[in-house]
Amino acid sequence: MTAYYNINPKFYVAVDCIIFGFDKGKLKLLLLKRNFEPAMGCWSLMGGFVQDGESVDDAAKRVLTELTGLTNVYMEQVGAFGEVHRDPGERVISIAYYALININEYDRELVQQHNAYWAELTTLPPLIFDHLQMVEQARVLLQRKASAVPVGFTLLPKLFTLTQLQNLYEAIYGEPIDKRNFRKRIAEMDYIEKTDKIDKTGSKRGAALYQFNEKAYRKAPKFKLQSYVRRAERKSISSES
Amino acid sequence: MTAYYNINPKFYVAVDCIIFGFDKGKLKLLLLKRNFEPAMGCWSLMGGFVQDGESVDDAAKRVLTELTGLTNVYMEQVGAFGEVHRDPGERVISIAYYALININEYDRELVQQHNAYWAELTTLPPLIFDHLQMVEQARVLLQRKASAVPVGFTLLPKLFTLTQLQNLYEAIYGEPIDKRNFRKRIAEMDYIEKTDKIDKTGSKRGAALYQFNEKAYRKAPKFKLQSYVRRAERKSISSES
DNA sequence: TCAAAAGTGTTAATAGTACACCCATGA
DNA sequence: TCATGGGTGTACTATTAACACTTTTGA
């Protein structure tokens, strides 16, 4: 029975994490400036190798925690990247994951130790290997996910203004959103609750702070922002040709 | 530099193929009754191991060709499956792909040699390991893809009737579609061309045969069947809770 | 007093859904 | 002649998109 397996080769299997954060109206990625080989000095995603006795999903969680100190983070698999020479050093098959973190909560010391920095998604530095392709795929998946379920809130502080929320969706879809239509849709989602707190940092007048009520969402999980991804996808399909 | 890699373990990496076909109004999957270990006698997807010097995508194509004799088949990656004990024999990380084939064109002899059979998607036998999970994920991806771009035609003969096309979409989404609305939308897609040929096998009156014009599609790639996947997804989200 | 962000409704256009009958033919 | 699948149009509803002004307040 073992012969069934052992006539076949084995491979290093890595995970790479596309770590999204949101700050000052911009989507950002946590990237490493590699101070180790291969590709020392270049920018890359945070990665690591799958270990014995560890599932691939768990490897991705471990790698994220190694860099940020965070656990229980929202993560989704992007897919497997298996070109023969994608890593010029050795044959490595990599499985990409994206993660959404609150940019105020990670462990700054760990990030510093790894020589990692936040880069704006719209102005990324050149990335090693196929990491840019991973990022692009992750972005499409995030757009779809964010239009179907309320994952966006994990990128925001617990209390947020509607302008922040709108800026987040604009950053995810890369295009402006009509304020009145957006707020109309938000108002239909009862689990996005207005608090009596006011944010005075963003404007003189002050803006009401809202919160996402997880339990209320589970009771009535209607989500009304599908139209934005449809618009974005129509745009990208017509520019694909 | 090698030390960077070789402190890490290596793994068998497999590919598994979810092979969709369409016949007599039903979506089908090509499954193997395993006459080899592990899990001899059980039903499984067609799979194989990634080899040295072969990309993961190429491995999936090779495995599909080994079973069906077909090349240039529409395939999409479903994702990586990496639980530690998913294969009880050995640790194997598997990457699933789905393929869409024309059920009239595969190599019957090869399929017979592999002890493979078409099973209806709605009444699958129990599958080994996590193969059912792979199938379910593939089905969701197929639904999305089929609503965004005209992949469905690869499951049909070159000439098809509108009833066949509608049955295909009904099978993909698992729910009935209104005939007049469906035909109205098809009529808006100029690259679905009516031929002067008539199919008399399906009815006494005969039905007009249509063909998909790839070039015309590329010129004007508007696709009008998005609403069906939205309906299906609304249904599945509300039944998820 | 004015700059800067917050907040607020209506209307028009488009897309989606529901629905029922006649047609052509081979058996 | 009749059973079977092929083919066709309209009216209603829901969703989406476009659009501009008033409010508050700190500097």
* Same domain (yes/no): A139, A40: yes
Domain boundary among A101, A131, A148: A148
User: What residues of chain A lie within 8 A of the CB of B49, using their CB?
Assistant: 5, 8-9
* Same domain (yes/no): A167, A227: yes
- The pLDDT of residue B241: 38
- The pLDDT of residue A238: 64
Domain boundary among B96, B131, B148: B148
- The pLDDT of residue A235: 79
Residues with Cβ < 8 Å from A217, sequence gap 6 or more?
Answer: A150, A189, A191
| Alpha carbons B100 and B174: distance in angstroms, whole number | 17
Number of domains in chain A: 2
pLDDT tens-place string over residues A175-186:
999 999 999 999
Q: Does B128 have pLDDT greater than 90? A: yes
User: What residues of chain A lie within 8 A of the CB of B81, using their CB?
Assistant: 56
Task: Tell if the CB–CB gap between A11 and B218 is shorter than 8 Å.
Answer: no
- β-strands B10-23, B46-49 pairing: antiparallel
| Alpha carbons B87 and B47: distance in angstroms, whole number | 12
Q: What angle do CA A120, A124, A130 make, to 5 degrees?
A: 130
Q: What would the DSSP string read from start to end of B127-165?
A: BSTTHHHHHHHHHHHHHHHHHHS--GGGGS-SSEEHHHH
Task: Tell if the CB–CB gap between B10 and A11 is shorter than 8 Å.
Answer: yes
* Same domain (yes/no): B12, B120: yes
pLDDT tens-place string over residues A71-94:
999 999 999 999 999 999 999 999
* Same domain (yes/no): A162, A51: no
| Alpha carbons A1 and B37: distance in angstroms, whole number | 6
Under the banding of pLDDT at 50, 70 and 90, the label for residue B38 is: confident
Task: Tell if the CB–CB gap between B1 and A37 is shorter than 8 Å.
Answer: yes
CA of B104 to C1' of C24 (A): 29
Mean pLDDT confidence for A51-59: 98
| Assigned token pair, B109 | 């002899």
Q: What is the CATH number of the domain that holds B73?
A: 3.90.79.10
Q: What is the CATH number of the domain that holds A191?
A: 1.10.10.10
Mean pLDDT confidence for A225-233: 93
Range of B195's domain?
156-240
Q: Which amino acid is at A148?
A: A
* Same domain (yes/no): B179, B219: yes
Q: Does B88 have pLDDT greater than 80? A: yes
More confident residue, B239 or B7: B7
- With the C-alpha atoms ordered A154, A157, A161, A166, is the resulting torsion angle positive or negative? negative
pTM to 2 decimals? 0.96
Which residues are B22's β-sheet partners?
B27
* Same domain (yes/no): A29, A117: yes
A100: nearest Cα among A17, A174, A164, A170: A17
Q: Does A237 have pLDDT greater than 80? A: no
State the average pLDDT for chain B. Answer: 95
Give phi and psi for B223, each to the nearest 5.
-135, 130
Domain boundary among A148, A166, A187: A148
- The pLDDT of residue B3: 80
* Same domain (yes/no): A77, A173: no
| Alpha carbons B130 and B108: distance in angstroms, whole number | 27
Nearest to B37 among A1, A10, A54 (CB): A1
User: What residues of chain A lie within 8 A of the CB of B53, using their CB?
Assistant: 84
Nearest to B79 among A4, A77, A221 (CB): A77
Where on strand C do bases come within 7 A of a protein Cβ? 3-10, 15-20, 23-27
pLDDT tens-place string over residues B203-234:
999 999 999 999 999 999 999 999 999 999 88
Query: Strand C-proximal residues, CB under 7 Å?
Result: A 161-163, 179-181, 183-184, 202-208; B 178-181, 184, 200, 204-206, 224, 226-227, 231
- The pLDDT of residue B236: 79
* Same domain (yes/no): B135, B192: no
For A26-161, list the strands marked E by DSSP: 26-33, 43-44, 46-49, 74-81, 92-100, 116-120, 160-161
